[in-house]
């Protein structure tokens, strides 16, 4: 009986092995090639408008992979003690990534008496203000700049007016975004807002004030100044 059982087990194993060895499989492979992963672009432009000219706006500088200055900001002329001259500057997102921005102003009179004065005696100051929809619309120069950019498909981000800085113009602190996550100074790109949308821009009003107590040392002098803007992706940890 044991021999019979052993024989049956052996026969069963042989049948299983033979059956398994005779099975067939279809195997196919499909390959997708020539794919890509592309990085985004962080691009900004600076625009302005000539005060009182009523001629829309013009591009001052941009970064399209290389920083380029195309023109100068409007000249500030005929400052006298107790007067303020203002210009408008637009910060515009021309890339594919959203960014937060900040800016500062630095400059020099090229006159040791003025430039080396103690901070408490420095009588030339600059202030910056982020414009909102109502204030910009009520000012001809700001509205000219806004209309010029809107006609190009850009979108004005002006949810509130905010005083940004009021400091000695020789070297102001950065004004604008306090961090990359600061939504008050974030400009979206066209890529993040859908088809037919170009990008966001903000308008800053820069006021240059010569103090009423300024003396003859300021007469006939020229202040050479620079507007330095910085942008950073909104997911970065810090500037």
- 4-26 per-position pLDDT tens digit: 656 555 656 555 555 555 667 89
pLDDT of 114 reads: 83
pLDDT of 17 reads: 59
**Cβ of 70: how many Cβ atoms within 10 Å?**
11
pLDDT of 214 reads: 87
Residue 59 has pLDDT above 60, yes or no: yes
Question: Residue 134 — pLDDT band, cuts 50, 70, 90?
Answer: confident
Residue 161 has pLDDT above 80, yes or no: no
Residue 112 has pLDDT above 80, yes or no: yes
Residue 47 has pLDDT above 90, yes or no: yes
Provide the CA 228 distance to its chain's centre, in angstroms. 12
**Does residue 50 contact residue 74 with C-beta atoms inside 8 Å?**
yes
- How many angstroms separate the Cα of 207 from the Cα of each of 15, 95, 183, 239? 96, 29, 24, 26
pLDDT of 117 reads: 77
Report, as an integer, the average pLDDT of 197-212. Answer: 89
Which residue has better confidence, 58 or 112? 58
Residue 53 has pLDDT above 90, yes or no: no
pLDDT of 190 reads: 79
pLDDT of 90 reads: 97
Question: Where do the structural domains in the chain lie, given as residue ranges?
Answer: 47-233
Closest by CA position to 92, among listed 61, 121, 113: 61
DSSP 2: H
**What is the percent of the chain where pLDDT is above 70?**
82
pLDDT, tens digit, for every residue of 61-101?
999 889 999 999 999 999 999 999 999 999 999 999 999 99
Residue 130 has pLDDT above 70, yes or no: yes
pLDDT of 74 reads: 95
Contacts of 99 (CB under 8 A, 6+ apart): 42, 44, 93, 180, 186, 187, 231, 232, 233, 234
pLDDT of 192 reads: 61
**Does residue 91 contact residue 102 with C-beta atoms inside 8 Å?**
no
């Amino acid at each position: 009986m044991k021999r019979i059982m052993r024989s049956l087990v052996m026969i069963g194993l042989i049948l299983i092995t033979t059956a398994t060895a005779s099975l067939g499989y279809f195997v196919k492979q499909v390959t997708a090639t020539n794919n890509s992963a592309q990085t985004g672009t962080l691009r900004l432009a600076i625009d302005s408008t000539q005060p009182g000219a009523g001629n829309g706006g013009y591009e001052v500088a941009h970064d399209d992979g290389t920083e380029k200055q195309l023109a100068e900001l409007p000249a500030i002329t005929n400052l006298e003690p107790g007067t303020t001259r203002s210009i408008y500057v637009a910060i515009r997102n021309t890339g594919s990534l959203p960014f937060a921005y900040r800016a500062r102003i630095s400059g020099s009179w090229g006159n040791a008496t003025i430039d080396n004065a103690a901070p408490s005696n420095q009588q030339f100051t600059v202030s910056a203000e982020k414009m909102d929809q109502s204030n910009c619309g009520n000012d001809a120069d700001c509205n000219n700049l806004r209309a010029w950019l809107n006609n190009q498909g850009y979108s004005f981000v002006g949810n509130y007016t905010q005083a940004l800085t009021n400091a000695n113009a020789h070297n102001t602190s950065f004004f604008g975004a306090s961090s990359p996550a600061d939504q008050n100074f974030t400009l979206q790109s066209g890529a993040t807002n859908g088809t037919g949308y170009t990008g966001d821009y903000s308008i800053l009003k820069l006021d240059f004030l010569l103090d009423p107590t300024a003396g003859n040392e300021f007469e006939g002098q020229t202040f050479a100044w620079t507007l330095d803007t910085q942008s950073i992706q909104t997911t970065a940890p810090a500037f």
